[in-house]
Amino acid sequence: MSVSIFDSFLTSSDMIAVFDDAAIVQAMLRFEQALAQAEADVGLLPQATADTIAAACDVQRYDVDALVVASRRAGSLAIPLVKELTKAVASMDAEAARKVHFGGTSQDVIDTAMVLATREALQLLDDGLHDLTGRLLELAEQHTGTPVLARTLMQPALITSLGFKFAGWLAPLVRARTRLREASARALQLQLGGAVGTLSVIGEQGPAVVERMAAILGLRSPDAAWHTQRDEWVRLGLEVAVLSGSLGKIAADLSLMAQGEIAELAEPSGEGRGGSSAMAHKRNPVSAMIALAAATRTPQHGATLLAAMGQQHERGLGNWQAELAEWPSLFLSAHGALYALNEAMAGLHIDSDRMLRNISEFKELIYPGSAQDAAALARPAQRLAEQQLRQLRADITKLSTPT
């Protein structure tokens, strides 16, 4: 896919590469190669035919921009791609060309390609969550007893501990990582049903082809074609949306605590980071800005997925296409936020003295006594933080242990 300059600003180069036009077309060609090989494995095609088709399944052979333009008239990117693939195979073996795309349909190709791309996208999210949860756990354990002013309805409230606050940022991310894995296990499945989902062209060998093809691609074998059964797929997308919301919560707190008048936290500076074109004194929280932008855009992406679920009969008209266009945006936003917050947390500046000064400014409202009392008043939060962090550390260790 091609992203605007402003989309690029809010995401990562790695995630852009996952959903790049050429990457999606290559994933579609992987589908065609795997389909031919699976059919050869069960005896529907000669192995030589599968080999010839495989030799043509290299995106470098094709004009991706021309395919995208042609897809607007064809109604599907798969139609011009299969046409060009068939021509490429025919140049090597006319008989083999008759077996290109045998038993498949356009949605099979595109859905499976999106599943393959999404698997890579999810790995990027998982890697980013591994880093961010590890860093937040470290910060939370270092500051379980650091007093900080809690704020409710944007106003000074009571004293809590910074470690307890960090644990509140961390816990939703640990849950998100768990739930993304659970949703992925169900949603990352092969799509293969043929014209109306019945595998009618392949015939009795259909289930065997599905099993073999899923194994080749390393995907779950579906119970049946899910052309218009989008529930598991949409659930996965919504988990990404919830993750973006949790990242936005962290960004909101970070940006408020980094305000010049508060100055309890600060993002790392230097090397052109967070500067102003007009005001040299500014230290802008750019990571929080990117994560907040992602969280702001996410509800619309998630709502589109839900709105597109009412797909007509055996093939959606307009709604499936809307879902396809919206899907990458969820991952671009989420990874942009995750990448930015990892940068911020890696060099986060924590001013515990300023936290005490901010507490003392409101101490007559909060508690009588000396500044040392702040630590005592933070102890209930400290105890809760220590308890919560023990469980979170165990959860993070479990997620990091190979299965």
Using CA atoms, how far apart are residues 248 and 267, in angstroms rounded to an integer?
15
Q: Are residues 379 and 349 located together in one domain of the fold? A: yes
* pLDDT mean across residues, the chain: 94
Cβ-proximal residues to 145 (8 Å cutoff; 6+ apart), any chain: 161, 163, 375, 378, 379, 382
Q: Is 261 a member of any domain?
A: yes
- Residue of 2, 276, 352, 400 with catalytic role: 276
**Residues 281-309: what's their mean pLDDT?**
90
Q: Structural domain tally of the chain?
A: 2
pTM confidence score: 0.94
Q: Are residues 100 and 144 located together in one domain of the fold? A: no
Q: Is the pLDDT of residue 385 over 70?
A: yes
Q: Is the pLDDT of residue 312 over 90?
A: yes
Q: Are residues 211 and 119 located together in one domain of the fold? A: no
CATH of the domain at 83: 1.10.275.10
Give the confidence band of 7 by pLDDT, cuts at 50, 70, 90: confident
How many Cβ atoms are within 10 Å of 151's Cβ, its own excluded?
A: 16
Q: Are residues 156 and 27 located together in one domain of the fold? A: no
Instruction: Report the percent of the chain where pLDDT is more than 70.
Output: 94
Q: Is 4 a member of any domain?
A: no
Scan for tokens 């021509």, then name that residue: 87
- Residue 241 to residues 299, 302, 332, Cα–Cα distance (Å): 7, 6, 11
Residue span of the structural domain in which 141 resides: 105-189+226-400
**Residues 267-286: what's their mean pLDDT?**
59
The token duo for 100 is 């290109």
Where residue 283 falls (left for φ over 0; alpha for ψ -120 to 50; beta otherwise) is beta
Q: Are residues 67 and 179 located together in one domain of the fold? A: no
Q: Give the residue from 296, 289, 256, 291 showing the smallest Cα distance to 275.
A: 289
- Residue of 119, 175, 273, 315 with catalytic role: 315
184 labelled catalytic: no
In this prediction, residue 352 carries a pLDDT of 97
**What's 369's DSSP letter?**
S
Q: Are residues 78 and 158 located together in one domain of the fold? A: no
Q: Is 334 a member of any domain?
A: yes
Q: Give the residue from 103, 116, 112 showing the smallest Cα distance to 40.
A: 103
For the chain, helix (H) and strand (E) counts, in that order, are 17, 4
Residue 264 three-state SS: coil
Q: Is 68 a member of any domain?
A: yes
189 strand-pairing partners: 220
276 labelled catalytic: yes
Q: Are residues 380 and 329 located together in one domain of the fold? A: yes
Tell me the per-residue pLDDT of 21-60, one tens digit each, with 9 for 90 and over: 999 999 999 999 999 999 999 999 999 999 999 999 999 9
**Contact status, residue 97 vs residue 90, Cβ threshold 8 Å:** yes
Q: Is the pLDDT of residue 349 over 60?
A: yes
Q: Is 9 a member of any domain?
A: no
Tell me the per-residue pLDDT of 136-169, one tens digit each, with 9 for 90 and over: 999 999 999 999 999 999 999 999 999 999 999 9
